[in-house]
Homo-oligomer: A and B are copies of this chain.
Amino acid sequence: MDNLTRLVEIEAIKTLMAKRVRCIDEKDWDGLASVYSDDCISWSFGADEGKSPPTIGGKAIADSTARVLTGLKTVHQVHFPEIEFQSDTEATGIWPLNDVLASEKDGKRTWMRAYGHYRQSYRKQADGWKIVEHRLTRLLVENGTDDIVSGWG
């Protein structure tokens, strides 16, 4: 893989992840489904710890994400990754992330603010780069409930 091709592919994978997190937070579930391959294995919702089976395929991943996040405001932000290529069409990436979940009801906000890393694999298909495996490791998880107060913003 020459230097220019490598940079082009890295930028494509970064844009794929930018789309992924925006689609989650703007609840664009068709857009979210499109960033995963049909055979993508997602170790979310406790699957990593053996609490549930992994979710397979973009459509199922988007469906379960939609279900889990119903009624919540969410923020997912990703930061500089370490991306490595195993071939012209296969790559892996480690991404720092922070995420916020918030449920606002009766003047109270119940929230999670958490930090960790996504560990992913990618494959370049006819329709572009797709996520083919997805795991999450955590550095820190904070939870709380506060009164909603008005102010700036």
Count of interface residues, chain A, beta-carbon cutoff 8 Å? 52
Q: How many angstroms from the CA of A73 to the CA of B140 in the assembled complex?
A: 7
Look across to chain B and name the residue whose beta carbon is closest to the beta carbon of A141: B153
Q: Mark A99-116, 1 if CB is under 8 A from B, else 0.
A: 011100000011110110
A67 to chain B, nearest CB (A): 14
Query: A17 an interface residue at 8 Å Cβ cutoff?
Result: yes
Query: A60 an interface residue at 8 Å Cβ cutoff?
Result: no
From residue 99 to 153 of chain A, which have CB atoms closer than 8 A to chain B?
Answer: 100-102, 109-112, 114-115, 117, 138-146, 149-153
CB–CB A112/B21 < 8 A? no
CB–CB B138/A143 < 8 A? no
Q: Chain copies in the assembly?
A: 3
Q: Is the interface of A mostly helix, strand, loop or mixed?
A: strand
Which chain B positions have C-beta within 8 A of A78?
79-80
Which chain B positions have C-beta within 8 A of A109?
142
- 12 extra A-B contacts, CB within 8 A, seeds A10-B11, A141-B153: A7-B8, A14-B80, A18-B82, A22-B117, A74-B139, A75-B98, A75-B140, A78-B80, A100-B140, A112-B152, A114-B153, A144-B146
Q: List 19 A-B contacts (CB under 8 A).
A: A3-B4, A4-B7, A7-B7, A10-B11, A14-B80, A18-B82, A19-B82, A22-B94, A22-B117, A26-B139, A74-B140, A75-B98, A75-B115, A100-B115, A109-B142, A112-B153, A114-B152, A138-B153, A143-B149
